[in-house]
Amino acid sequence: MKILVTGNRGFIGAQIYSYLKQAGYDVYGIDLGDEFNDRKYDIIIHMGARTLIRMSKEKPFEYFEDNMVFSLRMLEYCRKTGSVFVFPTSGSVMEATNPYSLSKKQTVEWIELYHSLYGVRRHVLKFYNIYGPTSRKGAVYLFAKAALEGSEAVIYGDGSHVRDFIHVRDVVRAIEMIVAGKVQEGYHEIGSGRGTSVAELLSMVEKATGKKIKVRNEDYLLPEAEKLVAENPLITDPVPLEAGIKEVIENLRGEIIGKTSP
């Protein structure tokens, strides 16, 4: 079985690529801007994309080109070769208020068209808030960094909005289930199924670090849903958020110590 992982140098793609490699799969990887090697792949796990919602407002065409156009190229390849297409979307597509979420929503519509017209097999993964030790964005990382460095954390809104935080290891587990044929083709929620408000997350990071975080509240730059939580998650025994937060903190603490050591 040959597998292509796009976005293999990104936070999530790199974890998937490394795991499948170590598990003995025949895995290849490309990222944005790389040349596509036209092998016959059994599965294309398409993680390559621009992902910063706020940046998409500043660069709408780039998000269209690197998200939708790139995805359609991979989807067309699957149509011609019979490859299975694995595509991540997000909870934000429910209300497409920015170029990022619109690119995801419209790509899913294209996937369904290719599925109904040409029989392209697909797994569409609705990702929630993914975090982990190597992430360099997202609330878990930013709050942990602010706590350890004594810097300021920004909260958009009043912190009452609820999100579903899922460890990147659980994402990799979900991908492995798909690759191993343990999951029926279709749509899957990749979340923990547990809601945590941003204010609660801040308190959890403060408790884990023993430090009070300086906070600045700002207005939403774009409209955001009050609650985004997986209702039927594929992973039923996720890494507990408290344990995942401690892992992120310990990794960051090691990095900070390394930078300050002579």
- Predicted pLDDT at 94: 66
Q: Output the six-digit token pair for 175.
A: 């991908």
d(CA 126, CA 87): 9
Beta strands 162-167 and 195-197, pairing class? antiparallel
Let me know: does 222 contact 177? Beta carbons within 8 Å: no
DSSP state of 24: T
Specify the residue for token string 């694995």.
86
- Predicted pLDDT at 258: 62
Q: What domains sit in the chain, N to C, each tagged with a CATH number?
A: 1-127 (3.40.50.720), 129-167+192-262 (3.90.25.10)
- Predicted pLDDT at 90: 79
- Predicted pLDDT at 52: 83
Specify the residue for token string 């036209």.
38
pLDDT digits (tens, 9 = 90+) for 6-62: 999 999 999 999 999 999 999 999 999 898 888 899 999 999 999 888 889 999 999
Coil vs helix vs strand at 220: coil
pLDDT lower than 50: segments of the chain:
261
d(CA 112, CA 124): 10
Beta strands 122-127 and 43-46, pairing class? unpaired
